[in-house]
Amino acid sequence: MAYQSQMLDNWIFLISIGAIVTVLLAGLAMGTPTAYARANAAFPEPILNVTENDGGKQTAVFAGGCFWGVEAVFSHTRGVLSATPGYAGGAANTASYDRVSSGTTGHAEAVQVVYDPQKISYGQLLKIFFSVAHDPTQLNFQGPDHGTQYRSAIFTSNDQQARMARAYIDQLRSARIFSALIVTQVTALPAFYPAESYHHDYLAQHPAQPYIVMYDLPKLGQLRVQFPQLYH
C-alpha cells in the first residue's frame, strides 16, 4: 500500500508540473472555459464561511462531472475523513451506473465528503470544488462527458450549507472569476447512494489510464499547487 501511494504521488508530482498547460490546451481544444485557467491566486476566500464547532463530523455532497476525479481531489484534501463516489438527485431504484449513464434518472454522479470541521470548513471545500475539482461553467457536461448526470451541482444537507453555497456563487459571479456563467445548481439532498465498489478509489487504482492522466491527475496537480497547506 505504501508503494502504491508513493507511485501515485510521483504521478501527481509529474502531472502538476504541466497541469496548467495541459488543461489550458484541453480547454482550447474543446472551445470551453476551464476552471483552472481562471482560478489563480486571486480566487477569493468565501465571505460567508460559518465554522461548525460542535466537534462532530460533517457531510457535504458535490457533483462535478465524472466522480473519479472529484473523489480523488477530496480524498487528498487534509481534513477530509472520507470521499465516496455515488449518485444523488434521483430515486433509489435507478441508482446504478448503467441506469445513471442513460442520463434519464435525475441522478448526478456525485461525491459524499465527510470532513472534520475543526480542520477544514465547508467554505474551504466550496473553494476547492469551484477552483480545482471541476469547471462550474459547463452546463450538463464536464470535458468529454456529456449528459445531465455530469452536471455541476451542490446537494446541501441544511439551510446553512445552502446559504453558504449560494453566497459563494454570487461572490464568484460578482468578482467575474469565470468568463462564462456559473451554472452550478444548489439543491437539497434527497438521498445519497454509494456507487459500485469498482468506482471507489478509481484514480488510485488506475493512475496510468489515459482518461485519468488527461482529465483527473491535473486536478490533483492543481490541488497541490493552489492548496499546498491542504494537500496530502
210 counts as catalytic: no
Q: What is the pTM of this model?
A: 0.85
pLDDT in tens, 166-222: 999 999 999 999 999 999 999 999 999 999 999 999 999 999 999 999 999 999 999
- Residues with Cβ within 8 Å of residue 222, at least 6 apart in sequence: 16, 19, 20, 23, 36, 39, 131, 132
pLDDT in tens, 99-147: 999 999 999 999 999 999 999 999 999 999 999 999 999 999 999 999 9
> Of 15, 66, 100, 203, which residue is the catalytic one?
66
The cell for 103 is: 442520463
pLDDT in tens, 19-47: 444 444 444 333 333 444 454 447 899 99
Q: Round to whole Å and give the CA distance between 44 and 171.
A: 8
Residue 5's pLDDT is what? Answer: 55
Asked: is 2-226 a CATH 3.30.2010.10 domain? The reply is no
Q: Round to whole Å and give the CA distance between 147 and 152.
A: 11
The cell for 79 is: 481534513
